[in-house]
Structure 1
Amino acid sequence: MARGGQRGATQQRRGSQSARTRRNEEGIIPQLARAVREVEAAVARRSAMPEVRAKFQVVALLAREERTRVKNDTGLSDSRRGEELKRLDGIATILAQTAARDSTLFTLLDENAEISESAKAMRRELLRKAGVDEPEPEPTPVAVDPELAALAEKRVTPLSVQAYQLSHPFLAPDFAHARVKVPPRRLAGWELLEPLFRSFERAAPDAPACMPLPEADQLTALTGRHAPVGRELMEHQAQLIASAAEGHRTYLLADEPGLGKTAQALLAAEAAGAFPLLAVVPNVVKTNWAREVEIWTPNRRATVLHGDGDDADGFADVFVVNYEILDRHVGWLGTHGFRGMIVDEAHYIKNKTSQRSQNVLEIASRIRSRIARPLMMALTGTPLINDIEDFRAIWQFLGWIDNVVPQGHLMEALEETGLTPADPAFYPAARRAVIEQGIVRRRKIDVAADIPARRIADIPVELEGDAGRSIRKAEQELARRMVERYDAAIATRRTGAEVEGIDHRLVRQVAGWEREDNSTKTGENVFTMMRRIGQAKAGLAADYTAQLARNVGKVVFFAKHIDVMDTAEKTFAERGIRYSSVRGDQSSTTRQKEIDAFVNDPDVQVAVCSLTAAGVGLNLQVASNLVLAELSWTDAEQTQAIDRVHRIGQAEPVTAWRVIATQTLDTRIAELIDKKAGLAARALDGAGEEVEGGAIDLQTEALVALLTAALEARGD
């Protein structure tokens, strides 16, 4: 009996131990113990891959939750509670030892640390293995905002983009150069954003406003391969591109207009390999961006988004979209795999509550969530319009700050100062830290040696809507009418007078007949066509002028017709931009009063001038930028207008911005004006030599070009 009693006691002890073993293998703690050992081994092998980091974070979070549950579970005995807390302490110890090997893991334990989707999925899997079924979180019910619902309905994905996505089903994220989110350490608890803004208000007048850029002797090797054949980079442009080639990735490019910000941005993208590239731009310069892509990065293909993007090329390298239609495309733009994003005239997003700003910030955030170090560039000659707070949205777009604190490099730089906002020295140091994130500001006068004293820069614009369609239809009708006259002349020729291909002599005769035939009352002629084009461009030209005025101060706006001037003045009034008006029907007293206001009153930003009435006899060198809203029929008239600004007393290089309507006669007229100017220059340079081709009649030459293009299109 004694032996039987001993056997029974032994079996009871073994049963108790077996039960304890089974109990210790149940629940979440065993799963956490195995997972933390896997993380420990991986980090010991220096393999802190994203999945290892996610597992470290999940183990730490679940261990924290389990500790809270064990402490509050009234159904546990004290001994059982102590046993489980001891096991959790062991897991915590391994976590701490592992993080000591890789200090970046500590950032995953911060209470504000983000939890990725992969980490959430890993958490659900660990709980499932532990026998805990955690339901998917139900979305918090919210009231449906009718405006947001309407916005969602407007969102589109162009067919060509869908084709691209089908051919690239796995757009892999790139975190090869990821940097760990840097939380405040010594500066924890300090309000930092406001002091950063204030640091720019407190800056000394001569404080630098440009980040350090490579020296001139370092440029050749870094930038020579990025400039297209036949295009020479100016030194200030090459410096920024060299900076991108060296690895810098965020820029607030605040150069004055006329210093080639678009070219710098495109070539920086080339140097950084930031394609596909997204460019968000004002509507008035959308076409110009596509042209600049062709000029500066000829190996890249651009597509311009219009409306719902029906004619977009989803396989392009550069996507150009204007702010006004961004809301329709914000969905797919965030997932297209862009490696860079440029925001032109970035002061457009200064109001963070606007839908426009929210769309830009959303896309930027989604790009950064997939690409660790994308190229992000904000282009604006005037980052500040109202007050220092205008910086907020731009800095957030660039990833320098979020809604609460500085981020990444900027936070590191502020920590390294060893100062706090309580120290006066903090402000210049903080301003310098922000500038070194990528603020680049050069004025024309600073780089005058790089740029010519006078230059003409074309701004191509697309005429959209009913006006654009009507003009293109009228131009087609004018071409058709001349083709009929050409064909009629060919049909009445005597035998033996045939010419193979296009008879260019006859083309010129038909163009002359068309110009001289004032009896044609049933269609457009070249004069009325150009006037209609000027009317259609008026709003776009005024819009661009308003941007210039915000960027550089005083601007002269030239137009041929009163209705174009009226449209411009209405636009300026609506924008709160003060202007003076110089017209042909004014008395000499009124005219001088308007001129004096522009020259002497710092609040008068624009002079709206008649090309014929104000093209001579005025001194407007208080401005260094002018806009030619309509083209002249003579190069001399254009030159006279430019010379109102480019004259003795002008201290800065002058830029004439010529607004050109693409795919219309406007483009041909601009080319002819340039050709005529070139002929005149050759005649002067040749000391009176005969100029080949003689004088150019712009009206006739425009008609010749139109008729020739129509005949070539039908295969003559």
Structure 2
Amino acid sequence: MSNLGKRPTAWVDLTGSDDENSAPQPKQARVSASQSGSASQPRPSQSLNARDAWVDADEEDEILDLSQDADEGNGWVCVGAIDGKIVGIRYYNGVATMGEQVMVQREPGNPYDSNAIRINNVQGTQIGHLPRNLAAKLAPFMDSRSIVIEGVLAGEKGGWDCPINLKIYGPGEPIARAQVEAKLKSDRVPIRKLGIAAPKQPKQAVPPPQRRQMGYHSSQSSSQALSSQPEPLPELGIEHFVEHSERFRPRDVEKMVEEWGAGEDALSKMPFAEQPQDLVSTLLPYQRQGLAWLLEKENPVLPALGSTEIVQLWKRSSERSNVFTNIATQFSTQTPPVLAKGGILADDMGLGKTLQVISLILEGGPGTTLIVAPVSVMSNWVQQIERHVKKERNMKVLTYHGSNRKRMTHREFAEYDVVVTSYGTLGTEYSSKGKNAEKIPRKDGLFCINWSRVVLDEGHNIRNHATKSAVAASSLLATSRWVLTGTPIVNSIKDLYSMLKFLAVTGGLERMEIFNAILSRPLAAGDPRAEAILQSVMRTWSLRRKKDMKFVDLKLPELSEYVHRITFRKDEREKYDALQAEAKGMVKQFEAGKSKNGLDIYRHMLEVLLRMRQVCCHWKLCGARVTDLIALMESDGAVALTKENRAALQLLLQLNIDSREDCPICLEELHNPVITACKHVFGRECIEKTIQLQHKCPMCRAEVADAECLVHPAIEKEAEEDPDLDVETKSSKTEALMSILTASRRDPKSKVVIFSQWTSFLNIIQHQLTEAGMKYARIDGSMSAPVRDRAMTTLESDPDTRILLASLSVCSVGLNLVAADTVILADSWWAPAIEDQAVDRVHRLGQTRPCTVWRLIMEDSIEERVLEIQAEKRKLVGKAFQEKEKAGRQKTTRMGDILKLLS
């Protein structure tokens, strides 16, 4: 292993070149101290970007943002490889060994060659450059974002150069990929084919629909089937629906492969911690095991001399005991690497993650713990600490939140055992008054102190690493870092990257370029080595126990889940098929590259998708297709804020809300969503702050004079305010739902929660419940907290109120619904975690009755393909935790999911 540990002088005089193909070299070059190649990495808040700069002696380092986008290339396919070399390595102190993953980055600001492409090791330290002639051919492709390049050292470093294997990735879309390949060939790029094709199409993850004739359909005559007003339905027992539905076990646990991860048997044999003396509550056995794991992860130890143990993916070389190698990236160093302290506590919802962390605070030694939580659960932390910690312990807790809070110093924070704050407060203090570039530690506020530990509750809130919350969390100074989440992977493997970055892992996976090369793209291609690395990562940094594991022994009643398929009536099928034909036409336009505006076609696809999903529930949700909305999306520029245009903009805004789009400024989920006259949707706080600074839309630069120009969502109408609702407006889905309700009511103690994403659908169901004389309560986003509380109390205490209508977004987190024993999911979308959370409001500690979940799915519709996508996302979590998997592969982009649904 050449040059390992070699440290050249900080300044060198570079006056010549190796040969005509050598990469450009500066007359003076400097690598900043933080990028010197030491494996002792700085905290995330202090680490510099993975680029060096060409500077003069008296200037501070300027970090140039010149590389290919680190987040690019997900879902792309390998089009070939190049066997090349790195030149100029004697001028740089980048430590590297054969087989190591490296970063390939453009350097257009290089004064000696505008085509320069540099090679960095996983720590961001430069190794050298690609030769001039190869860089000249590749640079235009990198600059146009046509390709993404991965690099692996193919041999040992010599005195002058080092072999490198470059993998070239092109777009997954066939036409665009063919164009890139043709251009590579015409430009004589020395690329060789690897025989790697595009990933195979996923196998069907959900069994094909069984076209059974349900009792309430088969009893209808053909003429009745054509009518939207069928005869009254016969009452059917719940056994009928069980018999005519598919048993659904989305969260079954499969035995793990021993060498890949800890299975249920291994988890049951984990060591136990002692019961904390200052804790009032007695920990359950699995919670004592969790505490032991938490304490161990706060005190990690590198492999001992001569040990074959692997710790946080680091192993000690058997040949040279002073060398540590990361088994994921193959990066090697003589300097002992810094180990991350902390991890991801990913226990199922309801298993007591809060109590285990309180125990850790009591047992983990002195210091102040910072807990970052959503506003809705901040008070829960204070209450739980008061409830579970003995009074004589005198634990001091501070709630640090609100616009009137005092900016505290590190000495003032240190007076408390626990400080509880919100993600919003954290993000605001990180970037307030442009201070995001200010050095850390600061004089006051959350970034002035090195916390004993930082705990992110509902840690999946930072799953997008580019959001303000994620950047701020990773910038905190802390000895130990913890993520608490029951859903560590919500949409894609990239969710995990943000958590690893927050945990300050070392060895390369904390860099997006390396994470994509080692995990994201190989997993999409079904690479078993990547799956093994992912499972090793999760075994190392994550602990996940589930409610149905035998050793957990919560003694919860049985949970039975069913997919109940429903057949369209002829009139409903005609409406659905018309929308589907339009959708497929747009897909063909998009794939053929004929769409003139990518954002418009994306919005149009979302609109048709929404209508297809809604017509599965009830055609009234679609209304007449709003031609004004289509015309609005196709028009150029801003529109006049007339009454008609405001109504159309509100429809477009609601489309983005229903599709769960993100705010393009902060990249968080839409918060207080508004839309501009130029048809761009933002969180209100973000766009108002932008208007104060520049009075322009950050997306298209259109003039936005003031906040009065923003259009807010339409005010939701209550069901009784809608004169168009009547008993005759029934759909196949509402008929099936009412039949299940009627059957469940034969058990006098049974209570039901009906979840839907759309309050307008809840309105329709509510009207039909009223007509049927069924007493109900309701919770949705239009209600104040006291009104919601009264609805909860009514469901729990009133024996005649046996139905709760619930908005999925409002009720998926933080509520206890154990008064019910049946859940009906009236509609579905592609992120299964939200549905799982909703079900867990009912099936949790305190539940005493067997629980049943019904998923209502229209046969041969988009709803069945939604189940396929859900299965793929569950498979992704399964790869990490070895839960039961079904065939298929994950998509990593929203557009990928859309194209799958519409294909």
Normalising by structure 2, what TM-score? 0.32
Higher strand proportion (structure 1 or 2): 2
Higher helix proportion (structure 1 or 2): 1
- Structure with higher Rg: it is 1
Normalising by structure 1, what TM-score? 0.40
